[in-house]
Structure 1
Amino acid sequence: VPPPPTEAFWHWQRQFSQHTQPFILLAEAQPAWLSVALLPFVLLFVGWAIVVAAGGVILWQRKQRQNADQRAWYYQHARLNTLGEITAGIVHEINQPLTAVQTWIQGAQRQVRQDNPAAVAQALGSALVQTQRISALLTRFREHVTQEAVTLEAVDLAECWRHVGNLLEHERTASPVRLTHDFAADARTLCADRLWLEQVLHNLLSNAIQAQQERAAGWVHIRSHREGERIHIAITDGGPGFTPEALHNAFMPFYSGREGGTGLGMTLTESLVTRMNGTLALDNAPEGGARIRLQFAHHGGQVNG
């Protein structure tokens, strides 16, 4: 006779066929789950959760310390690199005025021996102008480093270019390099800091002169025109132009395309142009030679650069 149906949690049976007395072996269970003590399991789970959480916190704190150490290392090296760039930048910017001062003083000494007081006075006056330029450069450089507010005003582009040409007269005549210009009537005045604009033009003209030292007769041409509220300036020269590597790395600190260069001229130039709300782009002119294109606002005010 088969066993009656059951609702047990688990059920097992086996039938044994015997000649004398067949029988069926049954086994089943219906646990009383509500009577099972759950507290030990709950405590075990909570204990493991605490261990896992504590381990996670320890690992997270260790990672945070490592990140903090890495940030401290990075900031320290960044400060050292920045200090190096600032120092090299100061050296780069005042080197040419100092060289000019030395040249004018040597010229004054020669004129003293030749008993030419008028030429002596002129040479000393030019040297004084260069020392004043060094002082102004250091002041502007401090403003640039500390990111102080910059007052932009109307600046005569032609006058700045003429002044820069006079400052580099010795370098121009030694090469020699001829300067030409074509300033549109409505594109002679732009919004800039006068000394910073002179420094930008000084760096660009100095680079153009140095690029043509091996040529018998070099030239640098600057032209400007106005488009809307922007003044566009293009400076071209008769040099070999920019190499692909120079175009790619020109604004990288300490990159120089010539031997003995500091590699900071173009970096500082771009930074000054940006502080004056301008743009700077490099390429090669279709007829050959380097071309530098600048843009500045036609009207100005005060900006925080």
Structure 2
Amino acid sequence: MAHSENHLENSLYASIMETIDLGIVILDVKTRELIFKNKFAVEIFQQTQNLLDYRNLLSLLLTDYGSKPEKEIFGKNYTLRFKNRLLGYTPYMIADNFIWIIIRDITERSRLESIAEAVNSMDNISFVFSGIRHELGNPINSIKMTLSVLKRNLSEYSPETVEKYVDRAMTEISRVEFLLRALKSFSIFEKPEIQDVQIDDFLTRFIALVRNDLHQSGIEISKIVGLNVTNISADPRLLHQVLLNLITNASDALEDQKNKKITIRVIKQEDLVAMIVEDNGCGMSKEAQANLFKPFYTTKTRGTGLGLMITLKMVTLMKGNMEINSIKDKGTSVTILIPEGTRNA
């Protein structure tokens, strides 16, 4: 009876592994053999059957096996471009003898994310350029006036006065350069360039970029930075886009509200820095919060339902995390947890 039950159980497991839409391969590290491959794994590598052996699979999927500690290899998520597919896979070491590799075809998911990222960026372009038009106008006019005055009086001014006017023009040029660098925020496909970011200065510049557009919607934006926080470890382009996405969401939530306010607070939490974007908008129900990170779920008439997924993806690229708390008819608080910078006191 026990033997019959074990046979039934084994048959059930085998049936599940054969019909599941995940590729499963099992390698025996002692005998150096491929001891199992399910139907989906064979399908993935169908045109290259010679890959389905122990040595070739290790070479293709686990290039660091044997040269790095196992804890740095197993349980991690990897991606691989294989022919016309994008594969995601995770290896596990089971009982010190067997390597299980779970393989997923993420080609379509990646394509949808790429489309959504492009759409999300395009949705924000008008918001960004409204601020850029306003912000570029001020420094350019200041540079023009400075150089005009300097040109008319160049023969009369002392070297010290000339230097003063040149320094003023250089300061305004620096403002223009920052705005131009901000445009790189749309290049969200690039590899993150993690660096120390002086957070108070970053937020001052960011708020200057969006304040005019928010003001036209009757929204007041402010920042509060804790005294014990100076730097965070982040990619300024990604951080700019993350904040822009969150500010856009907050602005939408404030559409029918009175006394519209958005506050960005920065506080230290152990070895992390919390950036909290708060609004006093319409808030969300518990049901809406439960579905926030589900693909294509949206409460907006023109939303893609992928904006927050993209934002979370960018935060995780900076080794951070994101939490959302909201109360219906009270407002929403989004907390971005980012590693602390190396130059913090």
Q: TM-score scaled by structure 2?
A: 0.54
**Higher RCO structure, 1 or 2 (CA under 8 Å, sep 6+):** 1
Q: Which one of 280, 289, 303 corresponds to residue 247 of structure 1?
A: 289
RMSD value, Cα: 3.9
Q: Which one of 189, 198, 209 corresponds to residue 142 of structure 1?
A: 189
- TM-superposed deviation, 1:292: 0.9
Equivalent residue number for residue 197 of structure 2: 155
Equivalent residue number for residue 86 of structure 1: 114
Rounded Cα–Cα distance in structure 2 between residues aligned with 1:128 and 1:224: 25
Rounded Cα–Cα distance in structure 1 between residues aligned with 2:282 and 2:127: 26
Gaps of 5+ in 1: 1-59, 112-116
Which amino acid in structure 1 is aligned with residue 189 of structure 2?
A: R
Q: Which has the larger radius of gyration?
A: 1
Matches within 5 A, 1:184-203: 184-203=226-245
CA contact (8 A) 2:223 2:265 kept: yes
Rounded Cα–Cα distance in structure 2 between residues aligned with 1:127 and 1:94: 22
Rounded Cα–Cα distance in structure 1 between residues aligned with 2:231 and 2:239: 12
Equivalent residue number for residue 289 of structure 1: 331
Matched, 1:214 2:256: yes
Q: Which one of 116, 119, 125 corresponds to residue 97 of structure 1?
A: 125
Rounded Cα–Cα distance in structure 1 between residues aligned with 2:133 and 2:329: 41
Encode CA deviations 1:277-298: one digit per residue, 9 max, x unaligned.
1110001269931011121111
Rounded Cα–Cα distance in structure 2 between residues aligned with 1:152 and 1:289: 32
Report the CA distance shift for 1:98/1:130 in structure 2 as closer, same or farther (over 3 A). Answer: farther
Rounded Cα–Cα distance in structure 2 between residues aligned with 1:98 and 1:127: 18
Rounded Cα–Cα distance in structure 2 between residues aligned with 1:233 and 1:286: 22
CA contact (8 A) 2:116 2:307 kept: no
Matches within 5 A, 1:86-125: 86-98=114-126, 100-101=128-129, 118=141
CA contact (8 A) 1:203 1:269 kept: yes
Identity of aligned residues (%): 19
Report the CA distance shift for 1:104/1:233 in structure 2 as closer, same or farther (over 3 A). Answer: closer
- TM-superposed deviation, 1:269: 1.1
CA contact (8 A) 1:151 1:193 kept: yes
Equivalent residue number for residue 62 of structure 2: none
Gaps of 5+ in 2: 1-17, 19-36, 47-84, 88-103, 146-172
Report the CA distance shift for 1:217/1:103 in structure 2 as closer, same or farther (over 3 A). Answer: same
Encode CA deviations 1:206-237: one digit per residue, 9 max, x unaligned.
11111101123310112122133221222211
Equivalent residue number for residue 182 of structure 1: 224
CA contact (8 A) 1:181 1:222 kept: yes
Rounded Cα–Cα distance in structure 1 between residues aligned with 2:336 and 2:254: 21
- TM-superposed deviation, 1:87: 1.9
Q: TM-score scaled by structure 1?
A: 0.60
Rounded Cα–Cα distance in structure 2 between residues aligned with 1:233 and 1:107: 24
Rounded Cα–Cα distance in structure 1 between residues aligned with 2:288 and 2:227: 34
